[in-house]
Structure 1
Amino acid sequence: MSAPGPKVAVYTGSFDPITLGHLHIIDRASRLFETLIIGIGINAEKRSLFTPDQRRDLIETVTKDLPNIQVKFFDGLAVDFVRSQQSRVMVRGIRPLTDIAGEFTMMMANRQLDSEIETVFLMADERFAHVSSSLLKQIAGVSEDDEMLAKFVPRAIIRPLRERMRAEAR
């Protein structure tokens, strides 16, 4: 009989903002592990639409029905953050064709940095294979149709997304 699987996994990203694709990966990963920590990466060099606190609040809003989720911030290397959470598992969502090469390269680099951390890839559902934060920002910038945006982001994100987009346009 093999040893029980890991209890804690970490899913890192910028989540600026969280999309339906992210949420789908979070939901699935939350069923595989006792605790799923969502690590919001803070990169002072990158201009984000939402502040880290806003991103945390939005994630907590759309994951409130998942009791085993924790949302935390990190800066620096994802493998360091995973280790600091007493985890050995990094969850990554991948979209067919667009993410595989980059995610594979990142996984190999992470293995060099910490060979004890395993990366678990969850393939995006076909409904979300094309969804990205940059795509939805483009759509939100030119469309006032909330139903169109609801195909990419949780409904609870639409109003804050529109407000931030308007503020950025000023």
Structure 2
Amino acid sequence: MASIAVCPGSFDPVTLGHLDIIKRGSKVFDKVIVAVLNNRSKQPLFTVEERIELLRETTRDIPNVEVDNFNGLLIDYVKEKNASAIIKGLRAVSDFEYELQMASINRKLDENVETFFMMTNNKYSYLSSSIVKEIAKYDAPVGDLVPDVVEEALKKKYIK
């Protein structure tokens, strides 16, 4: 049986840190589904469709990665996709505290689904989508933080 993992997130926008976790996860699992959360409580810069397209563009060279989106509970989506694992990247202890809560409730909802935490590459430990958006908003360079296609998309969003 193929091992399938879901790597969820808002990816608004996808960063080099996200891609590092996705690539590393793709070496561990037969298939990784990068799942864009449509979180109605947030006001994203990019639409779900734009985020999916950016992810597809930036992961096209990873054959066992699929990009999708979901609403609702992550655990329901994981079950729908017949996945047995969730991949989460961790930058700091503060990430771990929140993600431990999420992993615990997902485990309570379905004990057959495991959460795998991957420590971020040290060179991305400070990186977040929020930081990237803040820097890009002021027309500062973000080329060493995001893939080229994402940098171009950010420039288009912030052209005044």
Provide the TM-score with structure 2 as the length reference: 0.95
- How many residues are paired up? 160
Q: 1:131 aligns with which of 102, 120, 127?
A: 127
Residue 85 (structure 1) aligns with: 81
Written as runs of structure 1 = structure 2, the 5 A alignment for 1:55-70 is: 55-70=51-66
Q: Deviations over 1:56-96 (max 9, x none)?
A: 11001111100111111100011111111001100001112
CA displacement at 1:116 relative to structure 2: 1.2
Which whole-Å CA distance do the structure 1 matches of 2:140 and 2:107 have between them?
44
Q: Deviations over 1:96-121 (max 9, x none)?
A: 22311111111111111111110001
1:23 alignment partner, SS class: helix
Runs of 4+ in structure 1 deviating by more than 2 angstroms, as ranges, are: none
Structure 1 position 75 matched with structure 2 position 46: no
Which whole-Å CA distance do the structure 2 matches of 1:133 and 1:104 have between them?
21
* Sequence identity percentage: 36
Residue 39 (structure 1) aligns with: 35
Q: 1:157 aligns with which of 128, 144, 150?
A: 150
1:99 alignment partner, SS class: helix
Provide the TM-score with structure 1 as the length reference: 0.89
CA displacement at 1:129 relative to structure 2: 0.6
Greater CA radius of gyration, 1 or 2? Answer: 1
Cα RMSD (Å): 1.3
CA displacement at 1:144 relative to structure 2: 3.5
CA displacement at 1:39 relative to structure 2: 0.7
| Alignment gaps of 5+ in structure 2 | none
Residue 53 (structure 1) aligns with: 49
Which whole-Å CA distance do the structure 2 matches of 1:75 and 1:112 have between them?
20
Which whole-Å CA distance do the structure 2 matches of 1:42 and 1:165 have between them?
22
Residue 3 (structure 2) aligns with: 7
CA displacement at 1:151 relative to structure 2: 1.9
